[in-house]
Structure 1
Amino acid sequence: MEYNLKLHSTSGTPLADQTSYRRLMGILLYLTHIRPDISYAVSFLSQFVSSPTDLHHKAAYRILKYIKGSPGKGIFFSADNNITLKGFSDSDWGACLDTRKSTTGWCFFLGSSLISWKSKKQTTISRSSAEAEYRALAMASCEAQWLLFLFVDLRINHSKPISLYCDNTSAMHIAANPIFHERTKHIEIDCHVVRERTLNGTIHLLHKPLIYSQSLFLHYHSTTLLPSLAC
C-alpha cells in the first residue's frame, strides 16, 4: 500500500468495467495463502469490490507491481527449528474512513517460521486505541488457544505460555488489572477472554513497540520461497 494512503468507498471515479477489478482481487486473495506480506493490502482493497473506482484499481495495480518486483518472496520453514510459539498483535484505530472501524492484525511464529496470520476488520467500532488493541488481543489469544489444542492433537508438548507481544500498554494493563474492567464494560467479554487465558498460563503478554505497519512487518519476515514449496 502507498504510505498514508486514505481510501474510502467514494474515492475516485467509478470504473466502467468493474468485473476486472473483482477478478483481480479474487486472484490476489488466493495468493495471500503463501504471501502474507500482501494480506493487509488485499483485505483492505477487497472491501471495495461492490463499487470499485479508478483509485482502488490503481492501488490494486501497485500490489501487482510489488509482486512482480519480488517474485522469490514466500514462507520459509526451517528444518532445524525449535518448537516455541510466539505471537504479535496489533490494530489500527478507526482507520476505515467509511465506518470508522479498526482492523485487527496478528501473526504467530513456530520458532522462526510464520505459521498463522490474519488481517480482518473488527465487527464493532472501538472508542479508544486501547479498546481496538484489546479486541485484537482477544482474537490473537483465541488463535493461541486453538494452536495449543492443535499441538495436543499432534502430541507435541508445549509447556511454556505463548509469548504474545502487543505495543499498547493500556491494553496490557486491562488484562493484568481487574479494576480496569469497571471502566470498560462495553468490552467486558473480550476482557474476560484475554484475562482468563493470561491467568491460566495459556499466553504471556509482553510489550513490544511495533514501529512498522502490519503489512511491512510481515514483509520483513518473509524469505525466499523454497522450490519444494513452490511446487
Structure 2
Amino acid sequence: MSEQRVDEPTDGRVRRGDRTRRVVLAKAVDVASVDGLDGLSIGRLAAELSISKSGLIAHFGTKEQLQLSTIRAARAIFVRTVIEPALESPEGMTRLRRLLDAWLEYSSDRRFPGGCFFGRAAHEHAGRPGAIRDALAAVDEEWIGLITRTIVEAQATGELRADIDAGLMAFDVVACLDSANLRSLLMDSFDVYDQARRAIDQRLADAACRPGPVG
C-alpha cells in the first residue's frame, strides 16, 4: 500500500508532463509550418500557451532539441494522415494512388497551416548542415523510399511496366506534389492541385502495362 501512495504522485506528474509536451508540440508544428523552424523559441511558445518558460526548458532543453522534437511530431502526424491509411490498401497501383492522393489532400486541406510542414522546413534548412537538416533529410528519404518501393510492387503485380526506373518515377511524382504545395501557397490558389493530379495521372498512364485509367 505504501508503495502505491509513493508511485501515484509520480505517475500524475508524468501524465501532466506528457500532456504539456503534446500541447506544446501541437502548437510548435503549426507555428513552424508558417514561420519556419527558426520561428520557434521556448519564450514564444511559453507566452502563446501561457506556460512557464522554465517548464518548457525542462521538457525540451535547447532550441535545437525543441526543433528536433517538432520534426518528430510532424512526422508522426504525416504518418497517421497519409501513410497508415494508404498502407491498408492492397499492394500495387491502388496503394500508390492512395499514397499520392492522400498527400495532395494533406497539403490542400492545410493539415498544417503553412501547407506541407516538411516543404517549409526543407527550404529553410537544405543548405545548412547539422542535426536539423539530417532529421529532415531522413524523413524525405523515407518518403521517397516508400514511393519507390510501392512502384516496384506495382511492377511486380504487372500494373506498371518492368522497364520503368522506379526511383526516377518516384522522383517525378514527388516533384509534382512538392510543386503543387509550393505554388498553392505562393499563388494563394488551390487550382495547382488539380494540375498535379493530371500530371501524375499522365505519368502513371504512360508507365502502365495496360491502356486506360490508372488506379
TM-score tier after normalising by the smaller chain length: 0.3 to 0.5
- Answer 1 or 2: higher relative contact order, Cα 8 Å, separation at least 6: 1
TM-score normalised per structure 1 = 0.31
